[in-house]
């Protein structure tokens, strides 16, 4: 088979916006209604785990009735022509449900839980301790077989990002970088594109201004669905 170029994708909440999920920092976004330090940080988990569990129960419930949109499907269709790795900041499962086969969740997955004392192993978590709880609620007192309280399988603010090394490898090997639907405001995710080789074009799909300036950037100023259709025409 002829060599298929490697595309490294970094996706953010904007790619799920047209499925009906809120982004974090747009007007009316999630962080307009919650302070992330109260519901999504390691300190919050220590001080008020019940509030954190409630927040993620709400986010998990919102996923019910939500379906992938054309942007997710067009991203999955890239695999017909390219070697695609999606590094997503999203904790929803819409990339997988649209058919993408290589998805790395940098910030965790809202449909999964793990014992709060699960050890940090080479790839970040002993995956066999992670349980796919689908859309069910998790409350204080829901304990894992090892007796520990279940917690969301989410990287809280203040915690290390266990899969960042793997994500850096993906971007270091990329022939093409595609960034879709992220404000690039959270590191280390926002810095990943810098690992791509100097010759790799960097396409950014976002209807808003983008905070980065690099001669390699091609800004497709569209929402994700129309931007992805344009990208498919452009990329080769
Ligand atoms: N199509 C494409 N992009 C869109 C759309 C759309 N329909 N609607 C909004 N956007 C863009 C916004 O312009 C913005 O640049 O999506 C981006 C959303 O940015 P954020 O809300 O900051 O979300 P994200 O970048 O994914 O946040 C990163 O922050 O709170 C943490 O862990 C959380 O993973 C999250 C991280």
pLDDT tens string 42-85: 999 999 999 999 999 999 999 999 999 999 999 999 999 999 99
pLDDT tops 70 at residue 5:
yes
Task: Give one DSSP letter per residue of 74-133, joined into a string.
Answer: HHHHGGGTSEEEEEE---SSHHHHHT-S-EEETTEEEEEEEETT----TTSS-GGG-EE-
More confident site: 211 or 174: 174
pLDDT computed for residue 85 by the predictor: 98
| Atom in ligand 1 nearest the alpha carbon of residue 225 | 1
How far, in Å, from the CA of 22 to the mean position of ligand 1? 9
Q: What is the mean pLDDT of residues 87-108?
A: 98
Pocket of ligand 1 (CB under 6 A): 12-14, 17-18, 23-26, 29, 36, 89, 107, 181-183, 185-186, 206-208, 223-224
Cα 30 to ligand 1 centroid, rounded to whole Å = 10
For the record, the structure tokens of 51 come out as 């509030």
Q: What is the pLDDT of residue 129?
A: 80
pTM, two decimal places: 0.96
Using one digit for the tens of pLDDT, what is the confidence trace for 100-145? 999 999 999 999 999 998 865 444 566 668 889 988 999 999 999 8
Q: Provide φ and ψ at 214, rounded to 5°.
A: -155, 135
Segment 22-44, tens digit of pLDDT: 999 999 999 999 999 999 999 99
Average pLDDT of the chain, as a whole number: 94
Mean pLDDT of 87-106: 98
Domains of the chain: 1-21+68-107+161-236 (3.40.50.1220), 22-62+113-154 (3.30.1600.10)
| Residue 146: pLDDT band with limits 50, 70, 90 | confident
Band (pLDDT 50/70/90 cuts) for residue 2 is confident
Q: pLDDT band at residue 191, thresholds of 50, 70 and 90?
A: very high
């Amino acid at each position: 088979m002829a060599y298929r170029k490697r595309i490294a994708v970094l996706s953010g909440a904007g790619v799920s916006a047209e499925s009906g999920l809120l982004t974090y920092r747009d007007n009316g976004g999630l962080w307009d209604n919650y302070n992330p330090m109260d519901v999504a940080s390691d300190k919050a988990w220590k001080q008020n785990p019940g509030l954190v569990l409630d927040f993620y129960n709400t986010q998990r419930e919102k996923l019910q009735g939500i379906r992938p949109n054309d942007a997710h499907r067009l991203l999955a269709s890239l695999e017909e022509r390219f070697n695609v790795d999606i590094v997503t900041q999203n904790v929803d499962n819409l990339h997988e449900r649209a058919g993408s086969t290589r998805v790395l969740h940098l910030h965790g997955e809202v449909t999964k839980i793990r014992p709060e004392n699960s050890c940090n192993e080479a790839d970040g978590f002993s995956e066999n301790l992670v349980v796919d709880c689908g859309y069910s609620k998790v409350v204080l007192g829901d304990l894992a077989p090892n007796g520990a309280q279940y917690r969301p399988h989410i990287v809280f603010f203040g915690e290390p990002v266990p899969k960042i090394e793997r994500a850096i490898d993906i971007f270091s090997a990329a022939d093409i970088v595609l960034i879709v639907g992220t404000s690039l405001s959270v590191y280390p995710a926002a810095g990943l594109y810098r690992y791509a080789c100097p010759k790799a074009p960097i396409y950014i799909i976002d209807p808003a201004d983008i905070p980065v300036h690099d001669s390699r950037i091609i800004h497709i100023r569209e929402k994700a669905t129309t931007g992805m259709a344009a990208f498919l025409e452009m990329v080769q």
